Structure 1
Amino acid sequence: MDNLVIVLILAATTTAISILSIVFLYRNNSNLILRSKHRRRPLPLGTLGWPFLGETIEFVSCAYSDCPESFMDKRRHLYGKVFKSHIFGSPTIVSTDAEVSKFVLQSDAKAFVPSYPKSLTELMGKSSILLINGALQRRVHGLIGAFFKSPHLKAQITTDMQKYVQQSMANWRDDRPIYIQDETKNIAFQVLVKALISLDPGADMEFLKKQFQEFIAGLMSLPINIPGSRLYRSLQAKKKMIQLVQKIIQARKKEISSISNEVARDVVDVLLSDTSGQLTDDLIADNMIDMMIPGEDSVPVLMTLAIKYLSDSPTALQQLTEENMKLKTLKDQLGEPLCWSDYLSLPFTQNVITETLRMGNIIIGVMRKAMKDVEIKGYLIPKGWCVFTYFRSVHLDENNYDWPYAFNPWRWQDKDMSSSNFTPFGGGQRLCPGLDLARLEASIFLHHFVTQFRWVAEEDTIVNFPTVRMKRRMPIRVKRKGDH
């Protein structure tokens, strides 16, 4: 309830800050609709809701409910899969149509640019990969994406993930609950930080963890940057983290002559090796902090939700366990360690992860701003309006998936994951570069978990807003296999 109040205040405050522009938009909205009649395509059907507030309060209240897509479903039935609304201070075209969303995601910066709440844009900074556009965005995204796909990094991630998973699980006891969400966050954060800046556990890692918690708490805060405010404290935490990363960058630049002759050890090496002159130290440091978010949020939640769904599906758990035990037995007999390709070669394990991504909707959608009037599938998206591509409605649409609310990993045995109906990592030029690593980390965690433990999950529920998470952090009671 406290979080609901905070987010409602955020929505109202964001709207108040933008009040003049909103009044202008409302004053001219009738003219815009009238002018649109003289164009080839009309605006989508829908309503802009209450003056100033729009439909934000209803959207947020639905997002916190057990059926967060109810806001979208109600309007889809009234207006169709693409409709107009007014949420978070902006007139918005909402797309629950897979083809329209794909078009938006694949368009370049001449048509659409990222659009995020003010507090998030201030925390990310102008040089964040989430906000930059054009050639610079393609350059940074391409360099990072190529490195994340490299066998060298996958091998390193596998080694680190195995080490941190085993260290974590070695401390699990059967006389107290294990909080899966906490355990996976600790593991994934360390693995990702190692891949980004080659920082090992120790004093600097603990400092980084502490400051990062302060930083990420402000992502959905009131957009008020004054001493003592949540946003101010988060910005101060980011400055401290940037100072640490800058020290690493400066030390690395002294070794720059050897970097060109060696395989890049982390993302800092990759970006420092760029010769375009566009990637400043500040840009590199800023993006290292921003790219730590998946280690705190999306990857741990993926692993946690997989355990949640498996706990509720004994048949799926049994097949997953048998598949992983078979691989473990084979590798033990051969006397070989598991490599990254072993984990990704398990078909049912990958189906479990895919189904978790579809049902969990860790990223519910993305927001873009139209830089010009855009027409698609008979709809007009006016210049200056936001577009909200809502993935969750597509993933839970019974026209796309039979029994969409049922956890059914077997559905992926004959289904194409490249379809526009499945976009858990976004798409287009901004497709998440770490999607392969997320699958790899989840595969490793599930393998070691199901081959070492039996467990009973305590009662818990999924919270879907402002980010997806387990309400009680997914407590389970474990017993090691072989123990009586």
Structure 2
Amino acid sequence: MIISSDPQLNSFIFQQEGRAVELWYLDSFQKLFNLEGENRPNAVGHIHKYVRGVYLNLFGVESLRTRLLSDIERTVRANLCDWAGSGETIDAKTATSNMVAVFAAKHLFGHDAETSEDIAETIDGFVQGLLSFPLNIPGTRFHKCMKDKDKLETMVTAKLKERILCPEKGQGDFLDQAVKDLNTDFFLTENFIISVTMGILFATVESISTSVGLAFKFFAEQPWVLADLETEHEALINKREDKNSHLTWDEYRSMTLTMNFINEVLRLGNVFPGILRRALKDIPYNGYTIPAGWTIMVVTSTLQLNPEIFKDPLAFNPRRWKDIDQETASKNFMPFGGGTRQCAGAELAKAFFATFIHVLISEYR
């Protein structure tokens, strides 16, 4: 394995996607998501292009602007109300995982949390076990993860069969599009659709819940950050004709201090320690050769702790972002990866996080 925290090499590796390197996963991931044979997302370039296109159509900027932002706000408001009324101490990361899991399941395969069994704990158990030691014996976290995975697969499979038999019951979610496209290409099988649905659930839940959990930590440690955000959100509400109206897309895009806060949380709390690729052939670079078949771990998180770019890099300071230009940020800040495989859910994660902050700051203390 080559482990790189060098900005130039990292950029070079991202540029070689599909030519000299391919996407690579840990063996445990490959088993959990059935990422073998026809289901390998790196098997053919247009498989990744298809999945990315469908995801962006579902959770991309246009969908967020026209319909999802208000749904996110309703979800956040209902959950915060439940948390406040529970009378108990809340584990922010676990509770947020549950909130995002239900939201994602609704838009991926039409899960209705009110009329069917609650799957939040099942999804959370599945997600929490993904990075555990892959020892599949009773009593281990990985064993529970496999059990939760089987349970989730059963739910998704049942929904998929239902849509195939009755397409008219569609809800405009991921399964609807997948059923329309079923068997139109060699990789579009039922197993592939189920694997992709599980993968999207994992990525969506983990990225948002970790960030929200860290937000509470930083609020407690840096009260001035909270004061800055309160000023911004009070001003936003005061500009409205109707103080009780829902958050608009223009308001979301105007949250400069909130986005600086989110960037700083992501800078210090990157969800993934590195991004994995595998060399398809010998790769000469700067007098060295990366041998074919070797794994390359692109460690983007180290860039975000570079003292030459981020003064006092271990300190949490959202105000630093007002002095960082876009070009510098793009080369040294990659919380959602880079290259052609940059996370398609980046905008959804930021919008969900910002909406959560808006409701929390505006309505709670």
Q: TM-score range by the shorter chain?
A: 0.7 to 0.9
* Alpha-carbon separation, structure 1, partners of 2:89 and 2:298: 38
* Structure 2 counterparts to residues 139-150 of structure 1, below 5 A: 139-150=50-61
Q: Please state if 1:265 is matched with 2:146.
A: no
* Alpha-carbon separation, structure 2, partners of 1:254 and 1:345: 45
Is the Cα–Cα contact under 8 Å of residues 97 and 120 in structure 2 kept in the other structure?
no
- 1:443 counterpart SS class: helix
Which residue of structure 2 lines up, in the alignment, with residue 245 of structure 1?
156
Is the Cα–Cα contact under 8 Å of residues 97 and 124 in structure 2 kept in the other structure?
no
How far does the alpha carbon of each residue in 1:49-91 deviate from its partner, in whole angstroms, 9 at most, with x for none? xxxxxxxxxxxxxxxxxxxxxxxxxxxxxxxxxxxxxxxxxxx
Q: Please state if 1:446 is matched with 2:357.
A: yes
Q: Please state if 1:158 is matched with 2:69.
A: yes
- Higher helix residue share: 2
Pair 1:323–1:230, CA change in 2 (3 A): closer
Number of aligned residue pairs: give it: 358
Shift of 1:340: 3.5
- Higher strand residue share: 1
Which residue of structure 2 lines up, in the alignment, with residue 21 of structure 1?
none
Is the Cα–Cα contact under 8 Å of residues 163 and 169 in structure 2 kept in the other structure?
no
- 1:178 counterpart SS class: coil
- 1:170 counterpart SS class: helix
* Structure 2 counterparts to residues 399-438 of structure 1, below 5 A: 399-417=308-326, 419-438=330-349
Pair 1:405–1:251, CA change in 2 (3 A): same
Which residue of structure 2 lines up, in the alignment, with residue 186 of structure 1?
98
Q: Which protein shows a greater Rg?
A: 1
Pair 1:230–1:408, CA change in 2 (3 A): closer
Pair 1:223–1:360, CA change in 2 (3 A): closer
How far does the alpha carbon of each residue in 1:133-189 deviate from its partner, in whole angstroms, 9 at most, with x for none? 422122222222243215335544323322222222223159653332233222211
Is the Cα–Cα contact under 8 Å of residues 99 and 120 in structure 2 kept in the other structure?
no
- 1:291 counterpart SS class: helix
Which residue of structure 2 lines up, in the alignment, with residue 279 of structure 1?
188
Pair 1:183–1:218, CA change in 2 (3 A): closer
- 1:113 counterpart SS class: strand
Which residue of structure 1 lines up, in the alignment, with residue 200 of structure 2?
291
Counterpart of 1:125, as a letter, is: N
Q: Which runs of no fewer than 5 residues in structure 1 stay unpaired?
A: 1-91, 455-484
Which residue of structure 2 lines up, in the alignment, with residue 85 of structure 1?
none
Q: Which runs of no fewer than 5 residues in structure 2 stay unpaired?
A: none
Counterpart of 1:350, as a letter, is: M
Q: Please state if 1:316 is matched with 2:225.
A: yes
Is the Cα–Cα contact under 8 Å of residues 126 and 145 in structure 2 kept in the other structure?
yes
Shift of 1:205: 4.6
Which residue of structure 1 lines up, in the alignment, with residue 266 of structure 2?
357
Normalised by the length of structure 1, the TM-score is 0.67
**Identity score, percent:** 28
Match for 2:31 among 122, 137, 148?
A: 122
How far does the alpha carbon of each residue in 1:20-57 deviate from its partner, in whole angstroms, 9 at most, with x for none? xxxxxxxxxxxxxxxxxxxxxxxxxxxxxxxxxxxxxx
Is the Cα–Cα contact under 8 Å of residues 181 and 300 in structure 1 kept in the other structure?
yes
Question: Using CA pairs below 8 Å that are at least 6 residues apart, which structure has the higher relative contact order?
Answer: 2
Shift of 1:238: 2.0
Which residue of structure 2 lines up, in the alignment, with residue 216 of structure 1?
127
Shift of 1:341: 3.7
* Alpha-carbon separation, structure 2, partners of 1:224 and 1:118: 12
* Alpha-carbon separation, structure 2, partners of 1:426 and 1:272: 29
Counterpart of 1:244, as a letter, is: M
Shift of 1:400: 2.1
Match for 2:238 among 326, 329, 340?
A: 329
Is the Cα–Cα contact under 8 Å of residues 10 and 298 in structure 2 kept in the other structure?
yes
Pair 1:320–1:121, CA change in 2 (3 A): same
Which residue of structure 1 lines up, in the alignment, with residue 17 of structure 2?
108
Q: Please state if 1:97 is matched with 2:6.
A: yes
Which residue of structure 2 lines up, in the alignment, with residue 199 of structure 1?
111
Counterpart of 2:111, as a letter, is: L
Shift of 1:444: 0.7
Is the Cα–Cα contact under 8 Å of residues 138 and 429 in structure 1 kept in the other structure?
no
* Alpha-carbon separation, structure 2, partners of 1:319 and 1:229: 44
* Structure 2 counterparts to residues 301-312 of structure 1, below 5 A: 301-312=210-221
Is the Cα–Cα contact under 8 Å of residues 279 and 296 in structure 2 kept in the other structure?
yes
Normalised by the length of structure 2, the TM-score is 0.87
Is the Cα–Cα contact under 8 Å of residues 157 and 195 in structure 1 kept in the other structure?
no
Is the Cα–Cα contact under 8 Å of residues 280 and 292 in structure 2 kept in the other structure?
yes
Q: Please state if 1:344 is matched with 2:285.
A: no
Counterpart of 2:279, as a letter, is: A
